[in-house]
Amino acid sequence: MSSSNTEDKTLWYSNPEARFWTTTAQPNDTIFKFHRSLVPGHSSTKLTELPSVASELQVSRVFIKDESTRMGLPAFKVLGASWGVFHTLCQRWDLDINTTTIDVLRKHAAEEQSGPIELIAATAGNHGRAVARMANILNIRSRIYVPEATTQRSCNYIASEGAEVIVVPGSYEAAVEVAKEAVQQAGSKAIHIQDVAWDGYESIPMHIVDGYSTLFREIDEQLALANSPSASVVAIPVGCGVLGHAGVRHYRSAERKGVPPNILTVEPDNAACLLLSLKSNKLLSIDAGRNIMPGLTGGQISFLSWPDLQHGVDAAITVDDANVDKAVHDLATLGVSSGPCGASTLAALRTLQSNADPMKYQGLDIGKDSVIVLVSTEGNFTYLGEGK
């Protein structure tokens, strides 16, 4: 493995053995069908080809998975939240996940004997709004806790879904702790829908990870429709690691055929909890600094996601605010709405391409025949002040 620092504070990690490691995860058609047929307003998001970026990076083709319009929300999070909520409520009421519909869940929620139920979550923005959207669809209440650094615009978006929004002094981790306490106080009427796991709270976060598998299934289908070879590199932004975990489970599945892609994870240079953990070969908790990528600014990777990330990530890199801001605006010029968290993947590939020492980034095998997929996790609406 290799790792080093540069004057621009970019951090790097690589694991040449990751491509040969496999998980026991298997494709779940039920989740894919759920998103396609049961979730109101759902359709596949675009996989947009960027020929000018491919030319810039000196590779064959570059695609960006644009999650700015997922179910009418500006981020991918609703994939995990919808499946997490659906699966949890089916278990609560002993319903068959293969045959239950949204209307059936609404009926059971209205007839809940213990009284009105409530979904509770902590968020840096997009996860909370996704949970609130599902609560709205099901005609149930939601309460969302946000750290004090959350913008008023983000709070307003969450509230627009019908949620009660509560600002918590301190970090995202502090908001999670307050949400835990709220669930305990509310008892059986409250359901905690969180995308990070802790000891004793693992089932729902795992369902959320599984929900994100739809994104990667769509990428496979869309590359084939574009007459493209399979991806050589898939770049995934990482906050608490849940989306990266879903990517590893998809691309490292023993059931998957063909040559697997290299998985590149991307984090802010002052909030690199995954990269630093990978370099240390153990799960670390860090003090994350402020940056323009709040959705990627966590102090620790979800312990549920850590084992698969540790073994299945080929490379990890950090990016700074300036390069990410440029990527946001450049993508907007190309017609792609991508906020800082999503545009971090383009900033990462540019960092790789422009580095003076190509040996620093050995292991990704990026060349003129490479096909690169950038996962853009969010739209630029909040960052650029546009849209809704």
Percentage of the chain modeled with pLDDT above 90: 79
Q: What is the pLDDT of residue 5?
A: 40
Q: Which residues of the chain have pLDDT under 50?
A: 1-6, 387-388
Cα–Cα distance for residue pair 64/343, rounded to 1 Å: 10
pLDDT tens digits, one per residue of 191-232: 999 998 999 999 999 999 999 999 999 999 999 999 999 999
Cα–Cα distance for residue pair 105/345, rounded to 1 Å: 37
To the nearest 5 percent, what fractions of the chain are helix, strand and coil?
45, 15, 40
Q: What is the pLDDT of residue 155?
A: 94
What is the model's pTM? 0.92
Q: What is the pLDDT of residue 273?
A: 97
Longest dimension (CA), the chain: 65
Query: Which residues are bridge partners to 55 per DSSP?
Result: none
User: 12-75+212-384, what's its fold?
Assistant: Rossmann fold (3.40.50)
Q: Which residues touch 367 (CB under 8 Å, ≥6 apart)? A: 59
Question: What CATH class is the domain 77-208?
Answer: alpha beta
Residue 182 falls in which region: left (phi positive, over 0), alpha (psi -120 to 50) or beta:
alpha
Residue type, 33: K
- List the domain boundaries for the chain: 12-75+212-384, 77-208
Fold agreement between 12-75+212-384 and 77-208: yes
Neighbours of 43 (CB within 10 A): 12
Q: Answer for the pair 75, 67: CB distance below 8 angstroms, yes or no.
A: yes
